[in-house]
Every structure is written in C-alpha cells, then in structure tokens.
Structure 1
Amino acid sequence: MSKIKLKFKKRTNESYIIYCEPNIVNSIPKYLHKHKFGKRYCVITDNKIQKIHGNNLQKLLKQNNISAEIISVAPGEDAKSLENIKKICEKLIKLGFNRNDCIIALGGGVIGDLAGFVAAIFMRGLAYIQIPTSLLAMVDSSVGGKTGINLEELKNILGAFKQPKAVFIDSLFLDTMPKAEIQNGLAECIKYGASLDKRFFKYLEKNIPLIYKPEKDSEYNYNQKVLNKIIEISIRLKSRVVQIDNKETGLRRVLNYGHTFGHAIEAASKHKIPHGHAISIGMCLINEKLVRDKILKNKDAQRIKQLLDNTGLPTSLPDNIKKSDLLTLMKSDKKNKNRGQINFVKIKKIGDFILE
C-alpha cells in the first residue's frame, strides 16, 4: 500500500494521509475506529454511485458497528447547486448531525466538491473524508481541499478550502467505469506531465495504451498495475504543489494549466462537455497561443496534442463553440488577478511551466 502524506508546515492540523491500494475500501472501518474522525458518519453520494457502491459501504460500516447514514443526489454537474446544498444541510439537521460527526464523500469530482462544501459550512465546519470513485477525482479533485459549487454558468464560483481528514484511493472502483471515464481522468494526468514532470509525460506516452486490456468484453477490466502507478505519481506531483501553496496564492496556480480555456468550454457547452475533455481542448488552445507568441516550440505542442489524441481525448473546439464565445466567460474566471484581465498558466517546454 502507498501512503502519501500531504503535510502543511504552518497548519499541521490540516495535514492528512492519502491511502492508495486496490480494495482498500474494505479496510476503511478499521481506519475509522482507529482515528475516530467522527461519532457518526453520513455518506454523501449520487443516485448512481449509491446503487453501485454506496449501499455496500453503508452496510460494511454498520457491520463494523459504525453509525452511517446516506444522502444521495442526482448525478451530474448540475448537482453542484445552492439548492442541493440547502437540501443536504436540512437532511443533516433532521438526522441530528453535529460538529462531532463526519461526512464521507463517495463519488466523483462533483460529489467531492459538493460534500466538501457542505463539510466546510455546516455548523461552521465538520470533518470529512474522501473516497473518490472516478479516475478524475482520484488524481485531482479529492486531493488539495478545494471545494466548490456552480452559480448559473460560472463553475465553482462559490467555494471554500476544506482539507479532508483522509483520502482512500481504491483503483478497483475503476473497473465499474467505462473507457470514456478513464480517458476523462487521464486528461488531468497528462496535464501534470506536460506542466510539471517530463519523465512522467514520457511514461504516459509509453504506458497509456497498456491500460486497456485487448481481450474481448474487457472494457471494464483495466491494467491495475499501470493505473495505480499513474494515480500515485499524479497524486505525488499535486501534493508537492499543494503543500507549498494550499490556498492557490502562487505556485498552486500551475495546476490550472489548460483550465482557463477549459472551464469556459464547460460553461459554453452548459456542462455537456466533460471536464477532462474540456481541459484537453484547453491545453491545446493555450499551446497554440504559446506557439504563436514564441514561448513554446511547436514540436512540444504537437507532442502534447498527439498524446491527447492517442488517449482518445478531443483536441479542438466542437463546431457549435467559437473562440469568441469563450472570451466573456474567461474574463469572469475566478483565478484572474484583476477584473477583466485573463490569466493563463503557460509552459515553455514539456515539464517546465511559467506563472504570470
């Protein structure tokens, strides 16, 4: 089992461990008894994940004498709404939850954002842990403490920094995910390689094709060895950045490479384009700009585009979205330093970034 400690020097009480191991979900009751994150637990998930994993987790906890309730919402980006926040908080009040209790976020990035935001504001904050079930959530949103909900077309415009008490990464969850969901998560892994680590980028070029087993009827049967290494390296790269800048005031902004365009693309599509797909296109668009500005060599931009292509990710805008459509949305991006001034994370070569 891999244990990755995310340690904050100035806020040691917010430090936590990320546990990575296939089938670790069955060991979670042991960790909850040992660390006593809460007297009672409430699993927040979506209706789809509840049927696949949520009911089993609740049963497992109760079998181990752990009090566990479950609250589910409709799946999809639209779940990240003020209306759902209100409904979940009302249910927690009705169930008698208080600051001595703990929330479990079980699901993808949407659920992590939603549950984490509830944990940040309910009774001015209570503990929560992350159990991500998608590759995208495993390598990105479950690590680092950023939570958020959407307001109209603006993605994550309302949010808080709330570090979990622990993160449990069980790659066997991915065997219930279609190939498209794996590809969606790999966009963030490619982002890490392109902006932070050229050796990891080379590893991805060589090994992404090995994730998918060639046998018939094996769409949901992935190469766990390769997936686990990609997950672990991605988490280590993100953790190194977050440990230095946990509130996104400086270095952490590098994690937004491709995201200024990407978030605008998601909004322009009314969230019909998945996050990973939007970030893939976003990386290509910013790279085109960097090549024009003679900051990035075209051969590096093409190499990144080729890896995204080989992964099965889109690399250009769909016909119904124009670059001009994105300008207003990008000016409203919460990461901009000055009103109306668009800030981009740039790379000058693979594995080497520039912050404005």
Structure 2
Amino acid sequence: MAEVRVNLADHSYTIHIQAAGLGQVGQLMKDMPFSRRALIVTDENVNSLYSGALVDSLITAGFTPSVLVVEPGESSKSLATADKVFTKAISLGLDRKSPIIALGGGVIGDLAGFIAATYLRGVPFIQVPTTLLAQVDSSVGGKTAVNHPLGKNLIGAFYQPQLVVIDPLVLDTLPERELKAGLAEVVKYGVIADPGFFAYLTRHVDSILVRNPAVLTEVISRCCQLKAEVVAQDERETSVRMILNFGHTIGHAVEGVGGYSEYNHGEAVAIGMHGAALLSSSLNLCSLAECTAVKQLINAMGLPLTAPGYGTDELLGYLARDKKVVDSKVNWVLMQDIGRVTITQDVSEEHVRAVLSQLTENQ
C-alpha cells in the first residue's frame, strides 16, 4: 500500500493506493466524523462491476449506503443530472455529515463533488476513482464541476475530498480506450514537472500498455505525489496550479467542437498537448527535439495527435470561452524544457491559428 498526503491546512487528506482497496473503503471511513447514511454516485458501467463490493464494505463498517446510478459519459456532467442527485439526497434525508461517495471516473467525480460542495452548503466527499484518468488526476485536488452547453466545467467549485481510495486492480476491467485516455494525464505530469518521470514513462510504455500492476502502481503514486505538491502550493489555481492545465486549453476546445462525444477527455488533452508543444517550439520557448519527444511519447501511448477536419475558427471560438481566459486573454501553459513549463498570455492569434491548422489538416 502507498499513501500520499495532500497538505491543505485544516482540510488535508490522504490518498490510499492499495490493491483490493475497494473492500477497505468502509474501514477507512469508519472512524471519520460521518453520519451513518451515505450516498454512492456511480454510472451504469461501474455499478455492475464494483458497487456491490463498495456497498458490502460500507455495511460491514456500520453505514447505510444507497446507490444512485446515472448514465455513463460526459452528458451526465449537467445541471439536469445534478438535479436528480439533489432530489435523491433530499429524499434520503442526508444531513450535513452524510458522506457522498464518487465511484467511477472523472465525470462521476466531478458530478458527485459538485453535489457534495453545494448540498446543504457542503457535506463530506469521498473519491473512489475507477479509471486511470481519475486515479492520477481528477480525483485529487478538489476541482468539481458540471458543464454548460457553451463550455466545459464552467459551473463548479473547489471542494476537497476527505478521503481518496485508489484500487489499481479495477483497471483490469477498464476498456483499452479509457486506459489510454488516462495516459494523456500521466504524460502531462512528466512534461510539466518531472523529466525523470518522463524518461521512466518512455522506458516503460510496453509495461504500462499491458497493465503491469507494479508499473501502474508506481505511475499512479508518482502522479498523485506530483499533483499533491502542486495543489498544496496553490489550492485554487491562482498561480502555479495553472501548470496542470498543460494541453487542456486546446483540448477542451477539441472536446467542445466534437460535441463532447467524438474525442474523450484524455484523447482531446493528448491533441492539446501536441498543440501546446508545437506552439512552444514555434515561439522558441523549447527546442524542436523536446517538442518531438513529447509527440513521440503521446504517439507511443496510442493517443491521437491531431483532429483532422475540425474548423480552426470553431476551435478559436471555444478558446475565447475557456474558463482560464482573463480579460479576453488565454493563460497558455507552454513548455520550456521537459519537466518545466511557463504560463503566458503573450501568444498571438497568428501563432495559434498556425498550430490549429497543423492539428486539423487532413493527414
């Protein structure tokens, strides 16, 4: 078992990374100051695989859990779905110490976290992520949100979980496409903060893709450590935490243009990281060799590099509505070296258009 501490003063918490950890959630919650009634939010896919084990764990620890199942996919990150969860919470009589537990991927974590942050002005929140993307990124750090038709993650709050339990064994049932989607966020950590980790990923691509448990545990632990360090410095994304958005600016635009259905989040971030690397190189912030190294690792992980046929003007429209825009200027996260990035608004539309054209031309 590995543990990573997220140090945030009076709302610090621990990430537990443990094989078969799903069956330990109730025991880990048992001595925390929670009411016994709990609500698990999950989706149809995860419910059939893992809700039973989590429910049994909670019952054994003395809790009375209920399960709310929503449709899988980005469409559930909506105010309409949130209303269904609020209605369930109210009908169950959940009080201010009743934990809400997210069992699923990033969509479920964001949705359940948004509910926990706003129901009764805040109730305990537990993350039990079941996708690689959620385990290495979205379950840690307290970002919660739902989408709006005009943009992704525009309605939300910073709200930290009180506990994160990561069971690497659940990745055995993860579809190949979803595993690769999580690898986009994994690559991101190497690019923004740790050249040694980037080199480790480059050496272990094959082991990662065949889901070697020891390698995956090492990958998950390192990603959680890196994110915990960043979040501890800047919980509410006013400065250094912005580096975690590497690849996400263009990535969110790609998701939006595709109606949040053609490319999943990880695939879009992979395209966005390629775009950010190209933009960094074109601005002479990093070398062409480093740009190429990032491109090669993304490709080796089986992720897309381009979005052929997408419209440059459409993508620019989404960039203008990105939540990181301040005074009509995008905060770009760009490479200086592998392991070091910078945040800048000094990027011309001409440079952005040129990169978007490279990303969208038919190959």
Q: Calculate the TM-score normalised by the size of structure 2.
A: 0.92
Where does residue 354 of structure 1 map in the other structure?
342
Q: Could you say what secondary structure the match of 2:31 adopts?
A: helix
**Structure 1 residue 342, shift from structure 2 partner:** 1.9
Answer yes or no: is 1:277 the counterpart of 2:274.
no
**Structure 2 residue corresponding to 1:106, chosen from 100, 103, 112:** 103
Which residue matches 2:360?
Answer: none
Match of 1:304 among 294, 299, 302: 294
The question of whether the paired residues in 1 share the 8 Å contact of 2:102 and 2:109 is answered with: yes
- Residue 144 of structure 2 is aligned to residue 155 of structure 1: no
Aligned-CA RMSD value: 1.1
Give CA deviations for 1:66-118 in whole Å, capped at 9, x if unaligned. 21111111110000111111111111111111112110110000000000000
Shift of 1:24: 1.1
Give the Cα–Cα distance (whole angstroms) in 2 for the partners of residues 290 and 62 of structure 1.
52
Alignment of 1:21-60 (within 5 A): 21-60=18-57
Gaps of 5+ in 1: 214-221
Q: Which amino acid aligns with 1:238?
A: K
Which range moved further: 144-153 or 50-59?
Answer: 50-59
Q: For residue 135 of structure 1, report the CA deviation from its aligned partner.
A: 0.2
Distance in 2 (alpha carbons) for counterparts of 1:178 and 1:47: 14
Give the aligned partner of residue 361 of structure 2. none
Gap runs ≥5 in structure 2: 345-363
Q: Which of 213, 223, 232 is the aligned partner of 2:212?
A: 223
Q: Which shifted more, 54-63 or 16-25?
A: 54-63
Is 1:289 equivalent to 2:286 in the alignment?
no
Deviation at 1:27, TM superposition (A): 1.5
Structure 1 window deviating more from structure 2 (342-351 vs 227-236): it is 342-351
Return 279-288 or 163-172, whichever deviates more: 279-288
Asked if the contact 2:247/2:273 (under 8 Å) is kept, the reply is yes
- Select 1:84's aligned residue among 81, 86, 91: 81
Kindly state the Cα deviation for residue 156 of structure 1 after the two structures are TM-superposed.
0.3
Secondary structure of the residue aligned to 1:35 is coil
Q: CA deviation at 1:178?
A: 1.8
Residue 343 (structure 1) aligned with residue 340 (structure 2): no
Following TM superposition, the consecutive aligned residue runs of length 4 or more in structure 1 with deviations greater than 4 angstroms are none
Q: Share of identical aligned residues, percent?
A: 38
Query: 2:359 maps to which residue?
Result: none
How far apart are the structure 2 equivalents of 1:15 and 1:286? 32
Task: Tell me what 2:347 maps to.
Answer: none
Instruction: Provide the rounded CA distance (Å) in 1 between the counterparts of 2:132 and 2:308.
Output: 24
Task: From 143, 146, 155, give the equivalent of 1:146.
Answer: 143
Alignment of 1:191-340 (within 5 A): 191-213=188-210, 222-272=211-261, 273-319=263-309, 321-338=310-327, 340=328
Q: Secondary structure at the match of 2:323?
A: coil
Cα contact 1:38–1:127 (8 A) shared by 2: no
Counterpart in the other structure of 1:216 = none
For 1:76 and 1:38, locate their aligned partners in 2 and report how far apart those are by CA, in whole Å.
Answer: 30
Deviation at 1:207, TM superposition (A): 0.7
Q: Distance in 1 between matches of 2:253 and 2:209?
A: 31
- 2:358 alignment counterpart: none
Following superposition, the deviation at residue 259 of structure 1 comes to 0.6
Letter in 1 for 2:296: Q
For residue 276 of structure 1, what is the amino acid of its counterpart? G
Cα distance in 1 between the residues matched to 2:76 and 2:276: 29
Distance 2:277 2:208 in 1: 26
Whole-angstrom CA distance in 2 between matches of 1:270 and 1:195 = 28
1:289 is displaced (CA, Å) by 1.6
Query: Match for residue 178 of structure 2?
Result: 181
Q: CA deviation at 1:65?
A: 2.8
Aligned to 2:120: 123
Aligned match of 2:351: none
Which secondary structure state, in structure 2, belongs to the residue aligned with residue 316 of structure 1? coil
Partners in 1 of 2:226 and 2:106 — Cα distance?
18
Confirm or deny: 8 A CA contact 1:153 1:270 kept in the other structure. Answer: no
Q: Is the Cα–Cα contact under 8 Å of residues 35 and 95 in structure 2 kept in the other structure?
A: no
Letter in structure 1 aligned against 2:329: Q
